[in-house]
Amino acid sequence: MDSNETSTLVPLKVHGVLPDPNTETQIVILRDERNSEILPIWVGAAEGNAIELALKGVTPPRPMTHDLIRSFTEHFNTTITRVIVTDVKNSTYYASIYLQAGELERTVDSRPSDAIALALRTSSPIFVTQDVLKRRGGGSLEAWLEKFEAKDFGKHQV
Amino acid sequence: MVDYAADPPVRSACCTAPIERGQTHMITQMKVRGLMFDPYNNAYIVILRDEENAEMLPIWVGKSEASAISFALENVAAPRPMTHDLMKSILDAVEAKVISVVVTDLNDNTYFAKVHLSYEDSEYSVDSRPSDAIALALRTNAPIFASENVLRKQTSEELEQWLENLKPEDFGRDET
């Protein structure tokens, strides 16, 4: 990671997964360590579940899809060094997964949901670019989320 | 006959020893013949058949796994990489190759599979659900096999009958 890149990246933690009361999708809430930035990303139900299982530390009896990916990287001594939410276009977020296999470093294009599900399973850091944070919507979103969280966090009501 | 049930547990992260040779006999190559909706269980069934249509292996899978298999069967490229596309990207990025996938065992209606890969100069065998193994095999053009003991455990007669009872309208439907 060069210094230029580092300076524009904000580390994020997965704060939780919320059901979107209006659709069948789920919302992954990412926050920075000081809780001053919040990044909600809408994901599909399966991806939301994959993230939630990892957050809760649940080990399913059979490996789920992201567990299988982790298993591959473990077998090949490949490390996921970090995942970065790199871009947002027309409300679609883009992410990159950074892999280290020996001397070799590779970057793989991913949906943020898969990147986060993998990061949680491999204890890899999650970052977002400053630029994406700036473009993610406005203060009204924060206000909406605060209201939403206080009332509905963890409840599956419609 | 290889007893897959006696396979050692999945290797931990530390162990990267190659798999033993000779693990791939007594297996039958299968093709994915189709995907159907099972209205009784509100799940999807992947139908595997051998070349001669002598053997059939139905595998019940969840909705998202069914959709992953369906995208590959219909050769549809999603606008963004789906999870199994990402899986393939990661394998491609480190130059690992899927040699084959094998449905190895059936216990209490749960199927077990192995993904066989080559990476650098070694071969690896990784524990997987059959749905993930099949979704990956279809994306990497890797052959799919079923072990003989899985096919034997399978009570195909009953199944044929059950499948006959399913009306054509049930195929491909995604509602109850």
pLDDT digits (tens, 9 = 90+) for B123-175: 999 999 999 999 999 999 999 999 988 888 765 555 665 666 665 555 554 44
Identify whether the C-beta of residue B150 lies closer than 8 Å to the C-beta of residue B79: no
Nearest by Cα to A132 from A91, A82, A80, A81: A91
CB-CB neighbors (< 8 A) of B91 in chain A: 72
pLDDT in tens, B57-112: 999 999 999 999 999 999 988 899 999 999 999 999 999 999 999 999 988 778 89
pLDDT in tens, B16-63: 334 444 444 589 999 999 999 988 888 999 999 998 888 889 999 999
Q: Do A65 and B83 touch (CB under 8 A)?
A: yes
Neighbours of B124 (CB within 10 A): 21
Q: What is the pLDDT of residue A155?
A: 45
3-state secondary structure chain B: CCCHHHCCCCCCCCCCCCCCCCCCCCEEEEEEEEEEEECCCCEEEEEEEECCCCCEEEEEECHHHHHHHHHHHCCCCCCCCCHHHHHHHHHHHCCCEEEEEEEEEEECCEEEEEEEEEECCEEEEEEECHHHHHHHHHHHCCCEEEEHHHHHHCCHHHHHHHHHHCCHHHCCCCCC
Q: What is the pLDDT of residue B65?
A: 95
Give the Cα separation of B80 and A134 in Å (integer): 23
- Residue A144 above 90 pLDDT? no
Whether B63 has its CB under 8 Å from any CB of chain A: the answer is yes
Q: What is the mean pLDDT of the segment spanning A22-44? A: 89
| Burial of A59 (C-beta count, 10 Å sphere; 0-12/13-18/19+) | exposed
Identity at B147, one-letter amino acid code: S
Identify whether the C-beta of residue B7 lies closer than 8 Å to the C-beta of residue B141: no
- What tokens appear for A132 in the block? 């994406």
Say whether A6 sits in a helix, a strand or coil.
Answer: helix
Identify whether the C-beta of residue A79 lies closer than 8 Å to the C-beta of residue A100: yes
Q: What is the pLDDT of residue A33?
A: 83
Give the Cα separation of A21 and B93 in Å (integer): 38
- Residue A118 above 70 pLDDT? yes
Q: What is the mean pLDDT of the segment spanning A100-110? A: 95
Nearest by Cα to B13 from A89, A70, A134, A87: A70
- What tokens appear for A7 in the block? 């300076």
Identify whether the C-beta of residue A111 lies closer than 8 Å to the C-beta of residue A136: no
Half-sphere exposure of A33 (CA within 13 A, CB side): 6
Q: What is the pLDDT of residue B166?
A: 64
- What is the ipTM for the molecules in this complex? 0.85
Q: What is the pLDDT of residue B155?
A: 57
> Pairing state of beta strands A126-129 and A9-19?
antiparallel
Q: Do B119 and A75 touch (CB under 8 A)?
A: yes
Q: Do A68 and B93 touch (CB under 8 A)?
A: no
- Residue B5 above 70 pLDDT? no
Percent of chain A residues topping a pLDDT of 90: 66
Identify whether the C-beta of residue A42 lies closer than 8 Å to the C-beta of residue A88: no
Q: Between the CA of residue A56 and those of A14, A49, A59, what are the distances in Å?
A: 11, 10, 9
A21 secondary structure, DSSP code: T
CB-CB neighbors (< 8 A) of A77 in chain B: 16
Q: What is the pLDDT of residue B164?
A: 64
What chain A residue is nearest to B122 in terms of C-alpha separation? Answer: A76
Whether B117 has its CB under 8 Å from any CB of chain A: the answer is yes
Most confident of A34-48, A73-87, B32-46: A73-87
- Residue A129 above 90 pLDDT? yes
* DSSP β-bridge partners for residue A98: A82, A107
What chain A residue is nearest to B67 in terms of C-alpha separation? Answer: A46
A-to-B residue pairs, Cβ atoms closer than 8 angstroms:
90
Q: What is the pLDDT of residue A126?
A: 98
What chain A residue is nearest to B62 in terms of C-alpha separation? Answer: A46
State whether the Cα torsion B23-B29-B31-B35 is positive or negative: negative
Mutate to test the interface with A, among B16, B60, B67, B94 (most CBs of A within 10 A): B94
| Burial of A154 (C-beta count, 10 Å sphere; 0-12/13-18/19+) | exposed
